């Protein structure tokens, strides 16, 4: 029961993230890719993304602080960042990136700075939500679901027990385990 509740909460959260547009189809794809060989695939991917994106954000911030602003460079950075955020299905982040690029191409410094704040905000919000999400999986597993995955080090401390999450996809098996 307890496990069911955990599972249900997790599913609900995912549903809400999708509905609210924080995540999209791509995230589902990633989850589908997860299997026994890579039980923590989604978590690892998200971690890789956040590690790299932090660097990009820093670069963009520095470039925005330059005088005069190098718009082509910003455009380049943001394109990379946008591509990266599309990899995990971070829709809102991606949309803000698109707006930023538009301002950049119009050489609108004010617009760029404003939009960049939005990008950072969405980026941080999503990170928090995903952490919670993975935390749920972890707690669900801790609540008693048998660990099916080998332990892997993930950069997110909160994702430590996320490995059990892979059960989530195989709902039949999950329920079986939960019993």
Partner 1 sequence: MESGFSSPRNDSFPAGLRVLVVDDDPTWLKILEKMLKKCSYEVTTCGLARDALNLLREKKDGYDIVISDVNMPDMDGFKLLEHVGLEMDLPVIMMSVDGETSRVMKGVQHGACDYLLKPIRMKELRNIWQHVFRKKIHEIRDIESHDSFEGIQISRNLSDLSDDGHMFGREDLSSGKKRKDFENKHDDRDFGDNSSTKKHRVVWSVDLHQKFVKAVNQIGFDKVGPKKILDLMNVPWLTRENVASHLQKYRLYLSRLQKESDLKASFGGFKHSDLPLKDPAGSFGLQSSINTNQDDGAKGRYQFSGNNLFGQAVDIKNHEGDLKGIVSEPRPDNKTSLTPDVPDPQETSSTQMSFDHSFALGSEVKYAAFDCSIPAQYSWSETPEINFKQENKPVLQLEDGFSQLPPHAPQHHIQIDPLHSVQSITSGLSLTGRNTSGAIKVEPLYAEYKSAHVSHASPKESAIDMLPVQSKSHIIDNHSFEANSTAISSMKPQGFSLSCITDFESCHRNLISASDSTFAPFNEELTVCWLPGDFHSKNFGLPNFTDYNDPGFISEIPAHLYDALTADYECPFDQTEYTLVDQGLFIA
From the CB of 25, what's the least distance to partner 1, in Å?
A: 8
User: Which DSSP string corresponds to 139-169?
Assistant: HHHHTTPPP-S-----S-GGGTTGGGGHHHH
Cα–Cα dist 27/29, whole Å: 5
SS3 90: strand
Stretch that binds partner 1, among 83-91, 105-113, 133-141, 145-153 (CB under 8 A): 83-91
- Nearest CB to partner 1, comparing residues 80 and 120: 80
Stretch that binds partner 1, among 76-84, 108-116, 127-135, 138-146 (CB under 8 A): 76-84
Is omega for the bond preceding 68 within 30 degrees of 0, making it cis? yes
- The alpha carbon dihedral of 105, 110, 111, 113 has a sign of positive
| List 4, 13, 18, 52, residue binding partner 1 (CB under 8 A) | 52
Token pair 């591509």 in the structure block, residue: 83
SS3 1: coil
What number of chain residues touch partner 1 (CB under 8 A)?
Answer: 25
* Cβ(30)–Cβ(42) below 8 Å: yes
SS3 23: strand
| List 5, 11, 21, 32, residue binding partner 1 (CB under 8 A) | 32
The reply to whether 118 sits near partner 1 by the rule CB under 8 A is no
| List 7, 74, 87, 136, residue binding partner 1 (CB under 8 A) | 87
Structure tokens at 131: 């952490």
| List 12, 35, 61, 70, residue binding partner 1 (CB under 8 A) | 35
Q: Which residues bind to partner 1, rule: CB under 8 A?
A: 25-26, 29-30, 32-33, 35, 38, 41, 44-45, 48-49, 52, 76, 79-80, 82-84, 86-89, 169
């Amino acid at each position: 029961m307890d496990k069911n509740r955990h599972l249900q909460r997790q599913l609900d959260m995912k549903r809400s993230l999708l509905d609210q547009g924080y995540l999209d189809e791509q995230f589902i794809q990633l989850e589908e890719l997860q299997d026994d060989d890579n039980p923590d695939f989604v978590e690892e991917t998200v971690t890789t993304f956040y590690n790299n994106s932090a660097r990009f954000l820093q670069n963009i911030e520095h470039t925005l602080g330059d005088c005069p602003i190098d718009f082509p460079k910003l455009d380049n950075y943001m394109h990379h960042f946008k591509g990266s955020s599309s990899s995990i299905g971070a829709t809102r982040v991606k949309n803000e990136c698109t707006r930023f690029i538009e301002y950049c191409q119009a050489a609108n410094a004010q617009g760029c700075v404003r939009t960049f704040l939005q990008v950072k905000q969405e980026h941080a919000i999503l990170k928090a939500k995903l952490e919670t999400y993975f935390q749920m999986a972890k707690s669900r597993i801790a609540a008693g679901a048998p660990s099916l995955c080998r332990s892997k080090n993930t950069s997110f401390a909160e994702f430590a027990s996320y490995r059990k999450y892979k059960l989530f996809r195989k709902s039949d098996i999950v329920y079986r385990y939960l019993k």
